[in-house]
């Protein structure tokens, strides 16, 4: 399993993990509605902040808005929904406007069609594979977070007094909290 991380919501700084060459700092996962922030003293890089899986948190915190009961699902199902909210995508048929979920079923978030096969397998209703349909322009990939509103997105800060409601959603860190190009090296000229 690879690393993943975010940038802080208020300062847009990468949250480095404990395995990187950068110093770890305490980081706070913010919660809405006055709930206590979750302090992570040394982020390990796998989406767990002081024992709280961020994708599980994301799904459970937004469950009511999407009309599902996380307590009636397995832990893996709940986490899958949280991952779909955070980084999942759906394909939109450019001819009909219909949505297609391929391989992973995200219809709990975006109603539409589901093809359980792989991207290189032919979708009978569309006559080609998902890969071919995207390449031809028939299907257009869309981030789920662009198709539906996630009422309570993930938010992080290095400031223990930061307020959830005051900040935008955290962005994913392109360096995954680990793979930094150290362009900040001192110039000896």
* Confidence category of residue 138, pLDDT binned at 50, 70, 90: very high
Domain presence at residue 183:
no
Q: What total of structural domains would you count in the chain?
A: 1
The answer to whether position 8 is within a domain reads no
pLDDT score of 170 more than 60: yes
Residue 117 lies in a domain: yes
Half-sphere exposure (Cβ direction) of 115: Cα atoms closer than 13 Å = 20
In a domain, 24, yes or no: no
Examine residue 54 and state whether it is found in any structural domain, yes or no: no
107 assigned to some structural domain: yes
Percent helix, strand and coil across the chain, each rounded to 5? 25, 20, 60
**Domain limits for position 98:** 89-147
Q: For position 18, what pLDDT does the model report? A: 84
Mean pLDDT for all residues in the chain: 92
């Amino acid at each position: 399993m690879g690393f993943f991380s975010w940038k802080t919501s208020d300062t847009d700084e990468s949250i480095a993990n404990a395995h990187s060459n950068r110093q770890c700092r305490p980081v706070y996962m913010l919660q809405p509605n006055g709930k206590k922030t979750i302090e992570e003293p040394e982020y390990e890089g796998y989406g767990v902040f002081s024992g709280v899986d961020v994708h599980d948190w994301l799904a459970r915190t937004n469950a009511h808005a999407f009309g599902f009961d996380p307590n009636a699902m397995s832990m893996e199902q709940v986490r899958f929904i949280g991952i779909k909210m955070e980084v999942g995508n759906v394909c939109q048929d450019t001819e009909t406007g219909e949505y297609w979920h391929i391989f992973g079923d995200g219809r709990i978030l975006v109603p539409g069609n589901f093809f359980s096969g792989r991207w290189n397998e032919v979708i009978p209703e569309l006559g080609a594979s998902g890969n071919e349909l995207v390449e031809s322009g028939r299907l257009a990939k869309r981030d789920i977070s662009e198709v539906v509103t996630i009422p309570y997105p993930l938010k992080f800060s290095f400031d223990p007094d930061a307020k959830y409601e005051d900040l935008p959603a955290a962005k994913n860190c392109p360096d995954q909290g680990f793979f930094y190009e150290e362009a900040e090296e001192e110039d000896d000229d």
